[in-house]
Structure 1
Amino acid sequence: MSQTVNIGKMAVLIATLSEDELAHFQDQLKGYTYCSGKAGSMNMQKVISSVETAAKRNGIIQDEVYRETHALYHAILEALEGVTRGQLAIGDTMRTVGLRFTVVRGRPYDRSQEGEWIAVSFYGTIGAPVKGLEHETIGLGINHI
């Protein structure tokens, strides 16, 4: 299998698997840095901020390097489009989300000239703000740094 698939695949796996299940994939994660967290809200900005804060606190991106923050932001938006089925709105449309997220950074290409990439994955629930009326959702965004 080509190495170009791994960064997004790893982001999805990390977001969806338990710690015990993820232990089987530690060899594939070598060379990548990653962090995970949770975000639940009816406010899209709070979800975005949760991911950005986790990525900065865990050293996935450098806050003072604009291109890194910019790449992360676009990967987050792309992943949220999957979560929201292309309608980047939650609270405005009376939807709420409960998500696990993962940010993965690395060099997925064999050629070093391709540089570093960042992947963001969300997995969780979306639905009306009534407990029990939500359904599963997933989203993945990948961007070059």
Structure 2
Amino acid sequence: MSLSKDSRIGRSAILLVLSDDKSEELEKIKQLDWKCCTGKVGSMEAHKVVAAIETAAKKNEIVETGLYRESHALYHAIIESLHGVTRGQVQLGSMLRTVGLSFAIVRGTPYENKNEGEWIAVSLYGTIGAPVKGAEHETIGLGVNHI
């Protein structure tokens, strides 16, 4: 069970979210026959961040709405990514923090053995800080989960 060198799903999600010109990364993902989407969200409430990412994933057919296992895998990838953004405390407004984030969702088969199935990665990049303009700093998070 080894990851294919050219198809690391977490790396693809991070490069996509960080890219200023997404066309090159989107082309690489397309060549792998994977699905992906990007978006932005800002909030003082973690559940709004989760909802925005889930909505984008369903709208762009990254996950199938009626399949619990797909939504469940996405949820865990989002929460894992939020742990990175919030340094382990997935709380925002209650701790007087706000985020402004870009996100990327990538779904595909990163293992050489296709029997390992599909995986989903969620990457987040942006700012976090006190809800005062200029009182924020950069942050990044990545979550990867099997479907």
TM-score range, shorter chain: over 0.9
Structure 1 counterpart of 2:48, from 46, 49, 52: 46
Separation of aligned partners in 1, 2:25 and 2:77: 23
Separation of aligned partners in 2, 1:138 and 1:9: 13
Point out 4+ residue stretches in structure 1 off by more than 4 angstroms.
Answer: none
Instruction: Confirm or deny that 1:79 pairs with 2:81.
Output: yes
Q: Deviation of residue 131 (structure 1)?
A: 0.6
Q: Deviation of residue 77 (structure 1)?
A: 0.2
Name the residue aligned to 1:68.
Answer: 70
Structure 2 counterpart of 1:34, from 32, 36, 45: 36
Separation of aligned partners in 1, 2:25 and 2:43: 30
Separation of aligned partners in 2, 1:81 and 1:88: 6
Letter in 2 for 1:58: N
Name the residue aligned to 2:4.
Answer: 3
Q: Deviation of residue 45 (structure 1)?
A: 0.5
Separation of aligned partners in 1, 2:111 and 2:28: 14
3-state SS of the aligned residue for 1:28?
A: helix
Which runs of 5 or more structure 2 residues have no equivalent in the other structure? none
Q: Percent identity?
A: 56
Q: Deviation of residue 27 (structure 1)?
A: 4.6
Q: Deviation of residue 28 (structure 1)?
A: 2.6
Matches within 5 A, 1:1-145: 2-3=3-4, 6-18=8-20, 20=21, 22-29=22-29, 30=31, 31-145=33-147
Give the paired residue count: 142
TM-score by length of 1: 0.94
Q: Deviation of residue 3 (structure 1)?
A: 2.0
Deviations 1:102-139 (A, max 9, x none): 11000000101100000000000000000111000000
Letter in 2 for 1:62: E
